[in-house]
Structure 1
Amino acid sequence: MIIVLFFSGCAIKQKFTSEPVRFVFKTKSIKVAASGFLQRGRSLKLQAYGAGQPLFELILGKRVCINGRCMSYAMFNEKVLSPFYPSYIIRNILESKPIFAGKNLEKRGDGFFQEILDERFAIIYRVTKKGVYFKDSKNKILIKLKELD
């Protein structure tokens, strides 16, 4: 009895949700368009499968891991996105949160819109209940997430 109480009482229960999504992740080094799952918990995990095999996995925790290769958020921006972005921009995008500390934020209906123009980037970022759209036309980056019903 004591053993059961010990193991069940001390177990840390991690809450997470898993949503089916269709996504596009297109950068200079990654090009993926697939259906998969976005899991939210202590870390974020975006996964795509094809014929039962993992095709793409992005995990955002203390570090960013792509298909098992991990790096800092700053290194991820440098190698995958843009070195001029704030460190945690990818996490904000996948969590549907404002980017660049809410710069040029416009509330719209069930979400918000941001347009951020600079000599280093030209970003359109839109969040609604149904999904996320992030496009940087200067750096040729497109990230789209749409919930599947």
Structure 2
Amino acid sequence: MRRSLWLLPVLLLLLTGCSRRYYETPQPALIVLKSPKLRYADMGFLYRGESRIKIQIYTAGRPVFTLSVGERICLDGSCMSEAEFYRKFFGVAYPPGTLHAIFSKRAIFGGEGLLKKKGRSEQQIFEPGRFDIIYTFDATSARFRDRINHIVIKISER
């Protein structure tokens, strides 16, 4: 009898392990990510967690692009700092947390220029010579466009 009492907690630990759920249930979405160095547009999945987001884009049923955004940004397994990612793939220095906020459908740049209209939020951010951003988002979609740096990010959840 005593032997079976300690067996139950051990079995529970083995079955659940020390596993942690980093992401919620995957959310299917149409994802467009265009910059001078990145060009992806197809159906994929958004995996959201408390402090990280993973984006996978599929073509013909196979993942062709994986982007993880957390403390560091990982592109197809190659990780770098957020500032380095922005510089390398976008050619501009955005504030920390910008990409995470876009994929979370939250305000960017500390809410600068935020206008709310009928369940939809919009931000227009302009800094001469650096960026000219129009960003709109609601519960199911986000559209980010930087006209100076030729960057487009669109998310339409299904």
TM-score under structure 2 length normalisation: 0.86
- Aligned partner of 2:94 in structure 1 is 85
Larger Rg: 2
Residue aligned with 2:110, SS: helix
Give the conservation status (yes or no) of the 8 Å contact 1:77–1:87.
no
Q: Provide the rounded CA distance (Å) in 2 between the counterparts of 1:13 and 1:65.
A: 19
Work out the number of aligned pairs and report it.
148
Q: Provide the rounded CA distance (Å) in 2 between the counterparts of 1:106 and 1:74.
A: 27
- Aligned partner of 2:75 in structure 1 is 66
- Aligned partner of 1:139 in structure 2 is 149
Structure whose residues are more often helix by fraction:
2
Residue 33 (structure 2) aligned to one of 25, 29, 36: 25
Structure 1 position 32, deviation (Å): 0.6
- Aligned partner of 2:138 in structure 1 is 128
Give the conservation status (yes or no) of the 8 Å contact 2:33–2:41.
yes
The change in CA–CA distance for 1:131 and 1:7 in structure 2 (over 3 A counts) is same
**Unaligned 5+ runs, structure 1:** none
**How far does the alpha carbon of each residue in 1:41-71 deviate from its partner, in whole angstroms, 9 at most, with x for none?**
2421110112232111111122101111111
For residue 4 of structure 1, what is the amino acid of its counterpart? L
For residue 31 of structure 1, what is the amino acid of its counterpart? R
Ranges of 4+ aligned residues in structure 1 off by more than 3 Å: 5-13
When the two chains are superposed, the root-mean-square deviation of aligned CA atoms in Å is 1.7
Residue aligned with 1:45, SS: strand
- Aligned partner of 2:10 in structure 1 is 3
Identity %: 34
TM-score under structure 1 length normalisation: 0.91
Give the conservation status (yes or no) of the 8 Å contact 1:115–1:123.
yes
Say whether 1:108 aligns with 2:110.
Answer: no
**How far does the alpha carbon of each residue in 1:101-132 deviate from its partner, in whole angstroms, 9 at most, with x for none?**
00011112213110001111100000012300
**Unaligned 5+ runs, structure 2:** 1-6
Q: Provide the rounded CA distance (Å) in 2 between the counterparts of 1:84 and 1:44.
A: 20
